[in-house]
Chain A
Amino acid sequence: MNITLRVWRQKAPGDEGRMVTYQVEDVSPDMSFLEMLDVLNEKLTLAGEDPVAFDHDCREGICGACGVVIDGVAHGPERTTTCQLHMRSFSDGDVITVEPWRAKAFPVIKDLVVDRGALDRIIQSGGFISAPTGTAPDAHAMPVPKADADRAFDAATCIGCGACVAACPNASGMLFTAAKVTHLGMLPQGQPERQARVVNMINQHDEEDFGGCTNIGECAAVCPKGIPLDTISQLNRDLLGALASGKA
């Protein structure tokens, strides 16, 4: 199939960007979306044009490095990561618009590459359990009810790709933050720091210029790992608890 791509091109962080149109011919439906971009880049390189920069690494949907907005939807029309989106989801002759994640907290570095360091800083502010190496009791010392362990796991599957922020009309990072709060808050090991964690993480979230959450739900609708919207409610519950006990 033949595809027309409209791609955001921006040389450097401060530069003004623009949409540029490219033709990609002989696209196989079995190609992944990123492989289609590879084909474009090979073509551009041979023609002496700067290839399109985009983040990607594992290409199996787990590292969270890739992610672009395709025709207005983060990660494109299938609910998966961009690397696991295949060209069979498109038709011959389609015009596809490709843009980077857009948020003040995610400044564009080049073309489709953005800086998601803000997410790391949210984790630094409290997204952990303080367990210095060597201090751990036996793994069976503290049983965890299966339902809690499963819920913790569901939240822990977050890959930190930032699609939630990209899709949110408020550019909020609440689903990302809530996933970590829920993961750690469901486990007995996470209890001692539970209230401080939610307060510190929210403070950091707000400092990073993410927008506020208004429960719109676009985040959960595009999350490639299906992190549910109710994790945000869990975060709110924890935060309310922290406020009530004067920890905030």
Chain B
Amino acid sequence: MTELFIEGDPIRDTKAPDGPIAEVWDKRRFSAKLVNPANRRKLSVIIVGTGLAGASAAATLGEAGYQVKSFCYQDSPRRAHSIAAQGGINAAKNYRNDGDSIYRLFYDTVKGGDFRSRESNVYRLAQVSVEIIDQCVAQGVPFAREYGGLLDNRSFGGVQVSRTFYARGQTGQQLLIGAYQALERQVAAGSVEMNTRHEMLELIVVDGRARGIVARDMVTGEIETHYADAVVLASGGYGNVFFLSTNAMGSNVTATWRAHRKGALFANPCYTQIHPTCIPVSGDYQSKLTLMSESLRNDGRIWVPKEHGDERDPREIPEDERDYYLERIYPAFGNLVPRDIASRAAKNVCDEGRGVGPNGLGVYLDFADAIKRMGRPAVEAKYGNLFDMYQRITGENPYEVPMRIYPAVHYTMGGLWVDYDLQSTIPGLFVTGEANFSDHGANRLGASALMQGLADGYFVLPNTINDYLAAGPFAKVDDSTPEAQEAVAAVRSRIDKLLSIQGTRTVDSFHKELGHIMWDYCGMERTEEGLRKAIERIRELRDEYWQNVKVLGTNDELNQALEKAGRVADFFELAELMCIDALHRRESCGGHFRAESQTEDGEALRHDDEFAYVAAWEFTGTGEQPVLHKEALEYEYVEMKQRSYK
């Protein structure tokens, strides 16, 4: 395997102060240098992305008095994909008096992350979670309330306390609209300059510091340079490397990948979360997958026929010819096992040839028993909107025919490596939200993504970036700076290259093929053999891409194919690194399941002695061996255990 990568120096310092974990964040805030309000006006910050992490950071830093330049590829900051999160947001408020605490949220998150996250960061996340809810309520986020007027909570993602705040099935939307409004308020106040329909295509690093970006105006095609004293990437995850995922069509890795190429380490790229309850693929034309809240598993029963290739109408299959496989294999948790386990079990039964639906990639999620037990009105009240959504997409009535579900790529835990301050290995480059790797380890718990995005943007970054900015303003940079000219030239030549190939295949056809490779070999189950094959095929396909892709039009116009072409080019490079990371991690943990590393019962088996570290990769060139830097993970507060849901 050593032919695929080189091992470099370990990462020794994460900048988290020493001391009892509950005091670390206080200590860091105290030790961080401050910038006096009058000087903030002289300091500028670029923020790429306007999801929860980006919009909240832009609003907060703008309010604090910094000059903020915000960028998003959508036509409005309100469209960032945080908006699609359904379930809720966790916070250790203990409003239910059910034994919750900051410590318990911390513990659950570390355990849920399968002991592959950094204790100090997770503890801070749990601490800050409390303030997030206060902040959002003050902004007018209409969380669900009880008749007494107080906030409602529910239990989510298999935890035993009710700590999830929610706004029907649209929590992400409501939180994002809150952050978006705060952002627009700063735009009106003149402290944030908003650049919509702009895509970051390169990072400008001058004298070792991140000093700006090269962005393309997606309407005119103009290649623009923007400079600042610090750059924040809040550009989301990279699930679209699989082509089909629950991500938005435009979600991409380009911002973080460009930074990676400029020296930022990329951590744990192989950790991907695959969500078990999505609507199955219906045909080759399919462009995206739709998630349905996993709350459906509270009352629905998951099954497949016992017989291979049984094509009868599900309602005609008698009870004793059905296999309720989750209930059979995991009698204690049944249909409520964690996401990764439910997903893999579905894949296994489909691989056995017992899958249902047009292409055999689906399992039944059956509410017949629930309707019998609770009555249809009760089921309707609880799940009506999800049933409607299912019916709209599939044309089938789930009250009468069992739903079909299949797992889909949903979230990527990996991302750019950051220290305790959320600063990457490039000074002045900060990374927040899903774009960084920081808090979820190898698996993210339900309702924790929203929590992390807002924690980073509202409370963490605004209290750490000052330590860096206090040394600024830094030396003036402009279009005559050689590093900036090089970055612009690189962007231009890439675009020219993509437009000049004029081959015979569309961008989407390449992207689909890449997605198939990744799904087959770097998806729910990974093997050494499969990953090696995948790396080989990715390299071949990437070579073909650069010789045979067909992108029409010019750069000087709205050119959606050109936008996609640049993103897919970066996905190719990322895909290879994901496979290398997955290959080197010869253990199973969280969202990474290596077939070679399982217990006798087929469960994930970690190797803490060998792999209790963050794998942070350094870029050395396309197709070149990346350098692996390990950040050792030490657990002082939570004892490492093997998970069991039997």
CB of B238, distance to nearest CB on chain A (Å): 16
Q: Is the CB of B149 within 8 A of A145?
A: yes
B163-191 vs A, Cβ < 8 Å mask (1 yes, 0 no)? 00001101001100100111011011000
Q: Does B150 contact A (CB under 8 A)?
A: yes
- Out of B81, B174, B187, which one reaches A63, CB within 8 Å? B81
Q: Does A127 contact B (CB under 8 A)?
A: yes
Q: For the complex, what is the distance from the CA of A55 to the CA of B560, rounded to whole Å?
A: 9
Q: Is the CB of B134 within 8 A of A136?
A: yes
- Out of B81, B147, B150, B389, which one reaches A58, CB within 8 Å? B81
Q: For the complex, what is the distance from the CA of A86 to the CA of B252, rounded to whole Å?
A: 26
Those of A136-180 within 8 Å (CB) of chain B: 136-140, 142-146, 149-150, 152-153, 156-157, 159-160
- Enumerate chain A residues within 8 angstroms of B147, measured Cβ to Cβ: 146
B114-151 vs A, Cβ < 8 Å mask (1 yes, 0 no)? 00000000000000000101111111101111111111
What is B's interface to A at a CB cutoff of 8 Å?
A: 56, 59-60, 63, 74-81, 83-84, 93, 95, 131, 133-140, 142-151, 167-168, 170, 173-174, 177, 180-182, 184-185, 187-188, 194, 196, 219, 246, 248-250, 282-283, 285-288, 290-291, 389, 392-395, 458-459, 462, 504, 506, 508-509, 550, 552-553, 557-558, 560-561
Number of inter-chain CB pairs below 8 Å: 217
With A34-B287, A124-B184, A128-B181 in contact, do A86 and B144 touch (Cβ < 8 Å)?
no
Q: Is the CB of A42 within 8 A of B506?
A: yes
Q: For the complex, what is the distance from the CA of A95 to the CA of B558, rounded to whole Å?
A: 27
Q: For the complex, what is the distance from the CA of A28 to the CA of B170, rounded to whole Å?
A: 30
Q: Does A228 contact B (CB under 8 A)?
A: no
Q: For the complex, what is the distance from the CA of A51 to the CA of B508, rounded to whole Å?
A: 13
- Out of B60, B78, B142, which one reaches A133, CB within 8 Å? B60
> What are 21 inter-chain pairs, A to B, with CB distance below 8 A?
A32-B393, A35-B285, A35-B287, A42-B508, A46-B550, A63-B74, A63-B79, A65-B75, A65-B79, A84-B392, A86-B392, A125-B188, A136-B137, A139-B133, A139-B151, A146-B146, A153-B174, A157-B170, A160-B76, A184-B140, A187-B142
Q: Is the CB of A144 within 8 A of B134?
A: no
CB of B247, distance to nearest CB on chain A (Å): 9
CB of B90, distance to nearest CB on chain A (Å): 14
A1-33 vs B, Cβ < 8 Å mask (1 yes, 0 no)? 000000000011000000000000000111110
Q: Is the CB of B74 within 8 A of A65?
A: yes
CB of A158, distance to nearest CB on chain B (Å): 8
Q: Is the CB of A129 within 8 A of B285?
A: no
With A117-B75, A125-B188, A139-B151 in contact, do A156 and B248 touch (Cβ < 8 Å)?
no
Q: For the complex, what is the distance from the CA of A162 to the CA of B289, rounded to whole Å?
A: 25
Q: Is the CB of B173 within 8 A of A157?
A: yes
Q: List the one stretch of A107-115, A210-218, A236-244 in contact with chain B.
A: A107-115
Q: For the complex, what is the distance from the CA of A55 to the CA of B75, rounded to whole Å?
A: 9
Q: For the complex, what is the distance from the CA of A132 to the CA of B59, rounded to whole Å?
A: 8
- Enumerate chain B residues within 8 angstroms of A51, measured Cβ to Cβ: 552, 560-561
Q: Is the CB of B142 within 8 A of A156?
A: yes
Q: For the complex, what is the distance from the CA of A150 to the CA of B149, rounded to whole Å?
A: 11
CB of A16, distance to nearest CB on chain B (Å): 16
Q: For the complex, what is the distance from the CA of A83 to the CA of B536, rounded to whole Å?
A: 36
CB of A54, distance to nearest CB on chain B (Å): 8
- Out of A109, A123, A131, which one reaches B184, CB within 8 Å? A123
- Enumerate chain A residues within 8 angstroms of B392, measured Cβ to Cβ: 78, 80, 84, 86
Closest A residue to B135 using CB positions: A136
- Out of A45, A149, A153, which one reaches B552, CB within 8 Å? A45
Q: For the complex, what is the distance from the CA of A152 to the CA of B95, rounded to whole Å?
A: 23
Q: Is the CB of A38 within 8 A of B76?
A: no
Q: Give the secondary structure class of A's interface.
A: loop
Q: Is the CB of A153 within 8 A of B177?
A: no
CB of A201, distance to nearest CB on chain B (Å): 11
Closest B residue to A88 using CB positions: B395
Q: Is the CB of A133 within 8 A of B459?
A: yes
- Enumerate chain A residues within 8 angstroms of B133, measured Cβ to Cβ: 139
- Enumerate chain B residues within 8 angstroms of A113, measured Cβ to Cβ: 558
CB of B77, distance to nearest CB on chain A (Å): 8
With A133-B462, A146-B147 in contact, do A59 and B184 touch (Cβ < 8 Å)?
no
Q: Is the CB of A29 within 8 A of B558?
A: no
- Enumerate chain A residues within 8 angstroms of B60, measured Cβ to Cβ: 132-133
Q: Is the CB of B283 within 8 A of A28?
A: yes
Q: Is the CB of B508 within 8 A of A38?
A: yes
- Enumerate chain A residues within 8 angstroms of B250, measured Cβ to Cβ: 57
Q: For the complex, what is the distance from the CA of A42 to the CA of B561, rounded to whole Å?
A: 10
Q: For the complex, what is the distance from the CA of A144 to the CA of B580, rounded to whole Å?
A: 52
With A65-B75, A124-B184 in contact, do A143 and B149 touch (Cβ < 8 Å)?
yes
- Enumerate chain A residues within 8 angstroms of B219, measured Cβ to Cβ: 109
